[in-house]
Amino acid sequence: MKRTLFLALPFLAPICLAQQPDIRVQLLNLYQLSHATLQPVPGAQATWSTGSVRRDFPRETPVHGHAGMVGIAGHSAAKFIIDGNFLINTGIGPPRHVQGKLEISCRGNYLLFVAIMPVEQYVADVLQGETAGNMPEEALKAMAVAIRSYTTRFRERHKDDGFDFCDTTHCQFLRLEPEPSVIAAAKQTAGQLLWDRGTPLAAFYHKDCGGRSEDVRAIWGDQPSPSLISHPDGYCVRTEHGWRSEIARADLDRAIHSSGLQVPADWNRVVVADRTGSGRVRTLRFSHGRWQSGALVSASTLRFAIGRSLGWATLKSDWYDVTMQGDHFVFTGKGVGHGVGLCQTGAMEMAREGKSYRDILAFYYPGAEIGKSAKGIQWTAVPTESFELRVVNASDRIVARTAARSALQWATQRSRLALRSLPLIEVYPTVAMFRDATGEPGWVAASTHNQHVRIEPPSVLRDKFESVLRHEFLHMLVEDNAAPGTPLWFREGLVVYLGGDPAAAKEATMPGTQIERAISSRSSDAEMRQAYAQAAALVRDMDRQDGRAKLLEWLRNGLPQNVRGGDGLSTAHKETR
């Protein structure tokens, strides 16, 4: 597989999905803390550092925040990096055990703790927090895939706050010390995501659907998906338990006003005004007496208002009936949570009945595909005689077809080579989808495997779109015509040289064997660029002495031994050096 930088230098690419960047998680999100202490775990080491100072802290070390600055052990800075195996003790609940890196900064007088962790560690920590490890193995694995998909889809949710996710149910609840069974479930599904038409699925999950899941459009209208629809759940029904909650009118009124909801001042009646297709309450009407007029309040808004004031277990879901008994309102319902996506209660029952995690995911996210790279992309074929073209965005059709036709013609004339079969070009609609499908990092514009080109959209590459395709077609032509065993440095150098890339070195000083090692080992960017520049210089010198026809003959039939040389330098270079 080849890949192309925006500078048109080819690199060898891995086939698997590129590892995701570390996750930034705000810890202790619910608390406003101006003081805490850090303490290494017995027998472990931990350090704190600023940009210029790095020191061990062998014992309990106070941390405080004031006026936007953090103070540690007599040193003050806007931000400290803590690294190692240590505890954060806030005096509220048990100490938090952190293994890895932690950023501590300050907003006003309050400390901001941001843990930096690999994605798979975050998945395990969330899996522990959301399930307490109290699920059968296959259910845990299903949850791990859902959590990883949700994480990928909603990464940088708190970007404006300086982190990706908080550590509460607003994002995903986590515990920093997962159990072995939880770690195993995350490890056994590592990298696997649910895909919704080429994009990571918004894999919502909840505690108990009450026997029927909810359609995502009823709650999050901006996340429509055919994999997040309402459907019966016979597995959840087998373990279903209803719930009942009484709330005094005075308490309900307090919860409503503390959340700023607008209802009549003299309200004394609450009725269900509208339900979703699954039967859950969509809106309620607050009124006085039996008047039909009044204020409408969404069920989810009321549930959050009650949760914040009276406890999150007071109103467990939006699936209920409400009646009035004296000065109390009685809510009788079923289910726990919003009801969208995976039902943990049903997933556990499926696992107990011998279903695999893939069976569980297929049931709760129908139509979604599981994989480490993008799946289910809805391609549209664009008719053409000289190549196969697929696009997703209709707006890319004409631009891509015109550019591909011109690029293929240019590469064929430039190389004097021909392809034995039609190439396939897939134009991705977004950079994110390109990266998800290919595993390429952000500085790569296209990748080619055999005669299959995958490329970022014209709207992103703009005037570079055709030049990137030229480069990819040159790769195809060279690889399609190369004799078995043709050295990699020669093939890669020929592509760069034929492409007219200015990266060729002024003088060829590296032998082919050294170039080959640098390219194959995926060295640093600087070393790779130097290797390709040297490869192009070797081919240039060979062309100057022996001519283009001889280069192409060697490509098709193999390099003669006297050209390869003991050190890999061309005869022409040796004679003119």
| Model confidence pLDDT, tens digit, residues 214-271 | 999 999 999 999 999 999 999 998 876 799 999 999 999 999 999 999 999 889 899 9
Amino acid code (one letter) for 427:
V
| Domain finish residue from 66, 88, 117 | 117
Above pLDDT 70, what percent of the chain? Answer: 92
- CA 50/CA 419 separation, integer angstroms: 57
> What is the model's pLDDT at position 51?
73
Both 164 and 248 in one domain: the answer is: no
- CA 435/CA 14 separation, integer angstroms: 12
> What is the model's pLDDT at position 2?
58
Both 215 and 306 in one domain: the answer is: no
> What is the model's pLDDT at position 276?
97
In the predicted structure, residue 5 carries a pLDDT above the cut 60:
no
> What is the model's pLDDT at position 501?
62
CA 366 to chain centre: 21
What would the mean pLDDT of 480-497 be, rounded to a whole number? 91
- CA 9/CA 329 separation, integer angstroms: 69
Burial class of 89 by CB neighbour count within 10 A (0 to 12, 13 to 18, 19+): middle
What are the tens digits of pLDDT across the range 331-345? Answer: 999 999 999 999 999
| Domain finish residue from 83, 117, 151 | 117
Instruction: Calculate the alpha carbon distances from 194 to 129, 147, 372, 468 in Å.
Output: 21, 10, 9, 31
Say how many C-beta atoms besides its own lie within 10 A of residue 313's C-beta. 10
Question: CA 398, 402, 407, 408 torsion: positive or negative?
Answer: positive
Retrieve residue 46's tokens: 């931990």
Both 233 and 347 in one domain: the answer is: yes
- CA 74/CA 123 separation, integer angstroms: 36
In the predicted structure, residue 117 carries a pLDDT above the cut 70:
yes
In the predicted structure, residue 400 carries a pLDDT above the cut 50:
yes
Both 228 and 124 in one domain: the answer is: yes
Both 221 and 359 in one domain: the answer is: yes
Nearest to 132 by CA among 169, 93, 173, 95: 173
> What is the model's pLDDT at position 243?
95
For the chain, what is the total number of helices (H) and then of strands (E)? 18, 29
In the predicted structure, residue 7 carries a pLDDT above the cut 60:
no
In the predicted structure, residue 16 carries a pLDDT above the cut 60:
no
Please count the structural domains in the chain.
Answer: 5
Both 402 and 461 in one domain: the answer is: yes
Both 229 and 343 in one domain: the answer is: yes
What would the mean pLDDT of 340-353 be, rounded to a whole number? 97
Both 395 and 469 in one domain: the answer is: yes
Q: What are phi and psi of 182, to 5 degrees?
A: -70, -45
What would the mean pLDDT of 97-123 be, rounded to a whole number? 95
Instruction: Using the structure block, give the residue that is written with the tokens 């001519």.
Output: 547
| Domain finish residue from 51, 85, 117 | 117
Q: Looking at per-residue confidence, does 46 or 291 come out higher?
A: 46
Q: Looking at per-residue confidence, does 524 or 317 come out higher?
A: 317
CA 571 to chain centre: 50
**Least confident stretch, 7-16, 418-427, 445-454, 527-536:** 7-16
- Determine the structural domain holding residue 459 and report its residue range: 2-17+377-481
> What band does 572 get if pLDDT is binned at 50, 70 and 90?
very low
Instruction: Calculate the alpha carbon distances from 504 to 73, 473, 533, 541, 552 in Å.
Output: 54, 19, 4, 11, 19
> What is the model's pLDDT at position 54?
86
CATH number of the domain bearing residue 382: 3.30.2010.30
Both 360 and 382 in one domain: the answer is: no
Type and span of the H or E element at 436: helix 431-438
Say how many C-beta atoms besides its own lie within 10 A of residue 292's C-beta. 8
Q: Looking at per-residue confidence, does 509 or 191 come out higher?
A: 191
In the predicted structure, residue 17 carries a pLDDT above the cut 60:
no
Both 362 and 466 in one domain: the answer is: no
In the predicted structure, residue 379 carries a pLDDT above the cut 80:
yes
> What is the model's pLDDT at position 41?
92
The predicted model scores a pTM of 0.81
> What band does 567 get if pLDDT is binned at 50, 70 and 90?
very low
What would the mean pLDDT of 507-522 be, rounded to a whole number? 80
In the predicted structure, residue 429 carries a pLDDT above the cut 90:
yes
Both 306 and 440 in one domain: the answer is: no
Burial class of 222 by CB neighbour count within 10 A (0 to 12, 13 to 18, 19+): exposed
For residue 346, the 8-state DSSP code is H
Chain length of the chain: 577
What would the mean pLDDT of 436-452 be, rounded to a whole number? 85
Both 281 and 396 in one domain: the answer is: no
> Cα angle at 454 between 518 and 461, to 5 degrees?
90
What would the mean pLDDT of 296-309 be, rounded to a whole number? 94
What would the mean pLDDT of 74-90 be, rounded to a whole number? 93
